[in-house]
A = this chain, B = another copy of it.
């Protein structure tokens, strides 16, 4: 008889009066995708919370998307689908180059972009230039999936502003990759998306005509592509002869994401040729990308295509002046 109280215990103390109605999904990560839209993941644990000199950083373990890196309250990368973002950012550009040996990453401190680059057999040197040393150290310590990449002797990690670094270097690169925050006016990275930056800093550091520049280009969904995707595309069109926008749905972002690839040489590989190069050049199997997938990704839907064709806005340094003052104040603080 005394055993009657076993299940759920007669224990601890008095307050669990709902009884058997166990509710396990009690901890949540919540992100405001936009002001009126929230995206919430059940949490297993909060692995790390901290603040670097530049940003707040969290490493969460979420139920739907695995480990998730959150910076300043925005999900950057989730364990189960970051491969979509990083394969899309890296492989199309490297595969369209005939022999990519040297690569420069603007940003990329998470390490996943370097990881994908280092899968390419042709690559001899990768320079990753991120402003935030603590984030780089954090990711090196916590993201097991990139441990090997961070330890690769071909990778040189530089802590610096990407613009300053590129400007001061003598060497050129086969591919330059922009893995930076979006070009919000007044935001930290606006100046790394302007026509003059592309013209006077990026292009001169690409090896001749065959060099390729690729950048993440913000949300590219049927509504969200007007925020920055179309302008990045149009700005690059002012500077390079050939520009290819493409996109993919990334579930953990709750949106379709965009990238833009640019060069003065044409991008004319068929899906089959792309598949062939993937087999020849890339170690291991890619989970997201192949020739057909890229064909589909780079064929934008009607509404997005129309916006891009009709976009007239070009990012210029005008807005950046405002940022200059902001940073002055910042530096003296």
Contacts and interface: CB of A to CB of B under 8 A. Distances in A.
Determine chain A's interface SS by DSSP, over half rule: mixed
A127 interface: no
Contacts of A292: 299-302, 305
B11 A184 contact: no
A251 B167 CA distance: 40
A141 interface: no
Given A4-B323, A187-B8, A42 B31 contact: no
A193 B290 CA distance: 31
A331 B1 CA distance: 12
Question: How many subunits of this chain does the assembly comprise?
Answer: 4
A248 to B, nearest CB: 7
A164 interface: yes
A188 B113 contact: no
Given A13-B179, A76-B15, A293-B302, A188 B8 contact: yes
Contacts of A286: 302
Interface of A: 1-32, 34-46, 49, 52, 54-56, 58, 60, 62-64, 69-77, 80-81, 84-85, 89, 106-110, 112-113, 130-132, 135, 139, 160-165, 167-168, 178-182, 184, 186-189, 191-192, 215-216, 218-219, 221-224, 227-228, 248-249, 251, 253-257, 286-290, 292-293, 295-297, 299-303, 305, 320, 323-324, 326-327, 330-331
7 contacts: A8-B54, A10-B188, A15-B257, A38-B40, A45-B46, A290-B302, A296-B296
